[in-house]
């Protein structure tokens, strides 16, 4: 069933990233089947090899030794005409069934979305669909579901468990728990977790939870899902809580990333070092016509490591392997950033950068980093911390002169402890901006500056001077070879 990934690389589009994963051309969305096999990381993804639109979804495939540099592999799953996945091989996960790589995914045909299984060769390159597909032909009869798909599979002793994403009419999102001894025959157990009138811990979680991902983290468990409502994709949510007797009790809910739909359907793995690595789909923020014209759409986020802090809250930071992409660098500071006197960094500019900024904003003041700035400031994107309201914002109102690109602001709560400096890591990759603050919050978004000279970086302070302790900037290498 394997098919070569034959496509002409999309080049010549200045918005195309150079150090984020994406296929050579056409459409991609959710990461799938994220697994470490031996020492190699395998990443599958929702892929349309024919066009830059979400249609006839296959499973694309790539592999990496370091989570940073990827090699493209043949398509893993292709819809089978007349089969339960005739209209698409949708999201799911991969497990090691005593040495047999096994995928459980959603087969889409007409209005139906049903669990299907495929097994792989040792190198995970060729896959055979199970002749008994679909393995779960119908949803539980005692629930009135608005939608039902996507799979997270794990083993406890000799028993396999899986969660399916769902939405219960009038109630909201749910993660439905199933049990199996052989990955092929499944019994429905009960909902592992259900929204309370479309909310969890005060956070709205929509009509349905897509792409559940469930895993232990320190002494707790985390349920990550993505909020779907009325055909709109909203954001990825992490519920941190306790898992006992096959029930999950969330203690609190938060967005996993505050860039909303620009970080969606994440999937994670525990690698051989034991760390939990998560990666999400970074959706476009420009029109469908512009995506078609560019002949590519969608990328993956940088891989992030998740942990639990001493306060029981999630910690999130880019994996250390990304430091291998750092090229030429510049350092600025220590220095004061005077209120209303922006400091344009003469030594730092570009569209493939990492910036690490350590700064003390004035008490109650604002401090910001402007990126992709045109010399006359008509285009610029602002990363702003406001100490008065303990909030980090990406202000895209002037990100692009193209009115058909996203311009809404993204905000994240960020309270600093007494005396704690603000620590920003800003990853700029052409149209992608990923910002991590104090290992506590991340904001991922898209920007499409129109001008080729929108490359500047500046620092600014308002309502008092900020003390810049240090800024390091690196030009980032491409993750692909020269043809990339
Ligand atoms: N994408 C897949 C679905 C999933 C959605 C289809 C989330 O399986 O629910 O491409 O983006």
- What number does the ligand 1 atom closest to the CA of 165 have? 9
Q: Are residues 215 and 158 in contact, defined by beta-carbon separation less than 8 angstroms?
A: no
Residue 11: its pLDDT value, please? 62
Query: Which of 53, 85, 149 for mutating ligand 1's site (highest number of atoms within 8 Å of CB)?
Result: 149
| Ranges of each domain in the chain | 24-318, 327-476
Separation of 210 CA from ligand 1 center, angstroms? 7
Helix (H, G, I), strand (E, B) or coil at 228: strand
Pick one of 3.40.50.300, 3.30.465.10, 2.40.37.10, 2.60.120.560 as the CATH number of 327-476. Answer: 2.60.120.560
- What number does the ligand 1 atom closest to the CA of 150 have? 8
Residue 12: its pLDDT value, please? 79
Beta strands in 82-219 (DSSP E): 88-97, 100-109, 112-120, 127-129, 145-156, 159-168, 172-180, 187-194, 199-200, 203-204, 208-217
Separation of 30 CA from ligand 1 center, angstroms? 6
Residue 481: its pLDDT value, please? 74
Dist CA 366 CA 362 (whole Å): 7
* The domains spanning 24-318 and 327-476 adopt the same CATH topology: no
Read off the pLDDT of residues 134-153 as tens digits, 9 standing for 90 and up. Answer: 999 999 999 999 999 999 99
Dist CA 160 CA 180 (whole Å): 5
Bridge partners (DSSP) of residue 97 are 100
Residue 40 CA: distances (Å) to CA of 34, 45, 71, 238: 11, 16, 11, 27
Residue 93 CA: distances (Å) to CA of 213, 216, 429: 9, 17, 28
Read off the pLDDT of residues 364-393 as tens digits, 9 standing for 90 and up. Answer: 999 999 999 999 999 999 999 999 999 999
Fold of 24-318: Tachylectin-2; Chain A (2.115.10)
Residue 28 CA: distances (Å) to CA of 93, 106, 226, 282: 16, 16, 17, 9
Dist CA 172 CA 215 (whole Å): 22
Is the beta carbon of 41 within 6 A of some atom in ligand 1?
Answer: no
Separation of 50 CA from ligand 1 center, angstroms? 18
Separation of 413 CA from ligand 1 center, angstroms? 28
Residue 10: its pLDDT value, please? 53
Residue 482: its pLDDT value, please? 58
- What number does the ligand 1 atom closest to the CA of 226 have? 7
- What number does the ligand 1 atom closest to the CA of 90 have? 8
- The answer, yes or no, to whether the previous bond of 223 is cis (omega within 30 of 0) is no
Separation of 165 CA from ligand 1 center, angstroms? 10
Helix (H, G, I), strand (E, B) or coil at 19: coil
Is the beta carbon of 462 within 6 A of some atom in ligand 1?
Answer: no
Separation of 246 CA from ligand 1 center, angstroms? 25
Is the beta carbon of 265 within 6 A of some atom in ligand 1?
Answer: yes
Ordered alpha helix ranges (H), 86-206: none
Is the beta carbon of 235 within 6 A of some atom in ligand 1?
Answer: no
Residues of the chain with pLDDT under 70: 1-11, 482-484
Residue 403: its pLDDT value, please? 97
**What does 139-173 look like in DSSP terms, one character per residue?**
--TTS-EEEEEEEEEEEETTEEEEEEEEEETTTEE
Mean pLDDT score of the chain: 96
Active site residues: 30
Is the beta carbon of 104 within 6 A of some atom in ligand 1?
Answer: no
CB atoms closer than 10 angstroms to residue 354: 24
Residue 9 CA: distances (Å) to CA of 25, 265, 480: 5, 25, 11
Q: Are residues 92 and 150 in contact, defined by beta-carbon separation less than 8 angstroms?
A: yes
Dist CA 465 CA 338 (whole Å): 5
Is the beta carbon of 211 within 6 A of some atom in ligand 1?
Answer: yes
Dist CA 220 CA 251 (whole Å): 10
Is the beta carbon of 90 within 6 A of some atom in ligand 1?
Answer: yes
Dist CA 49 CA 51 (whole Å): 6
Q: Are residues 1 and 128 in contact, defined by beta-carbon separation less than 8 angstroms?
A: yes
Give, using CA atoms, the residue closest to atom 10 of ligand 1. Answer: 90
Helix (H, G, I), strand (E, B) or coil at 35: strand
Is the beta carbon of 115 within 6 A of some atom in ligand 1?
Answer: no
Residue 5: its pLDDT value, please? 37
- What number does the ligand 1 atom closest to the CA of 147 have? 9
Is the beta carbon of 457 within 6 A of some atom in ligand 1?
Answer: no
Helix (H, G, I), strand (E, B) or coil at 216: strand
- What number does the ligand 1 atom closest to the CA of 91 have? 8
């Amino acid at each position: 069933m394997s098919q070569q990934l034959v496509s002409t690389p999309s080049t010549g589009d200045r918005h195309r990233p150079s150090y984020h994963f994406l296929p050579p051309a056409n459409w991609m969305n959710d990461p799938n089947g994220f697994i470490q096999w031996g020492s190699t990381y395998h990443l599958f993804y929702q892929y349309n090899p024919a066009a830059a639109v979400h249609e006839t979804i296959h499973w694309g495939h790539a592999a990496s030794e370091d989570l940073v540099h990827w090699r493209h592999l043949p398509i893993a799953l292709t819809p089978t005409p007349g089969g339960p996945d005739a209209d698409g091989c949708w999201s799911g996960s991969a497990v090691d069934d005593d040495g047999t790589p096994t995928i459980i995914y959603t087969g889409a045909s007409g209005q139906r979305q049903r669990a299907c299984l495929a097994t792989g060769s040792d190198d995970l390159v060729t896959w055979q669909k199970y002749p008994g597909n679909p393995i779960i032909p119908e949803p539980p009869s005692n629930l009135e579901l608005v939608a039902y798909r996507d799979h997270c599979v794990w083993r406890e002793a000799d028993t396999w468990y899986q969660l399916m994403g769902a939405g219960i009419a009038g109630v909201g999102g749910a993660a439905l728990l199933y049990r199996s001894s052989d990955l092929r025959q499944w019994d429905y157990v009960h909902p592992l977790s259900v929204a309370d009138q479309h909310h969890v811990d005060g956070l709205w979680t929509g009509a349905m939870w897509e792409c559940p991902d469930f895993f232990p983290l320190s002494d707790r468990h985390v349920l990550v899902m993505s909020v779907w409502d009325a055909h709109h994709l909203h954001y990825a949510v992490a519920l941190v809580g306790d898992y006992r007797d096959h029930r999950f009790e969330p203690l609190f809910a938060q967005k996993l990333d505050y860039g909303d739909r620009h970080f969606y359907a994440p999937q994670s793995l525990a690698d051989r070092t034991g760390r939990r690595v998560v990666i999400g789909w970074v959706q476009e923020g420009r029109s469908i016509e512009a995506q078609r014209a560019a002949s590519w759409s969608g990328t993956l986020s940088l891989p992030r490591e998740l942990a639990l802090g001493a306060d029981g809250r999630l910690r999130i930071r880019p994996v250390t392997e990304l430091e291998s992409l750092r090229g030429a660098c510049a350092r600025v500071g220590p220095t004061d950033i005077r209120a209303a006197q922006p400091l344009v960094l003469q030594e730092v500019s570009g569209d493939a950068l990492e910036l690490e900024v350590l700064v003390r904003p004035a008490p109650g003041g604002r401090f910001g980093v402007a990126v992709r700035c045109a010399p006359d400031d008509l285009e610029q994107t602002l990363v702003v911390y406001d100490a008065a309201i303990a909030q980090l914002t990406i202000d895209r109102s002037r990100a692009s002169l193209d009115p058909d690109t996203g311009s809404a602001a993204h905000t994240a709560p960020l309270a600093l402890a007494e005396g704690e400096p603000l620590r920003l890591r800003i990853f700029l990759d052409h149209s992608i901006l990923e910002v991590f603050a104090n290992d506590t919050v991340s904001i991922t978004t898209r920007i499409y500056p129109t001008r080729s000279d929108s490359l500047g970086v500046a620092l600014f302070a308002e309502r008092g001077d900020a003390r810049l302790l240090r800024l390091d900037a690196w030009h980032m290498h491409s993750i692909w070879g020269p043809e990339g």
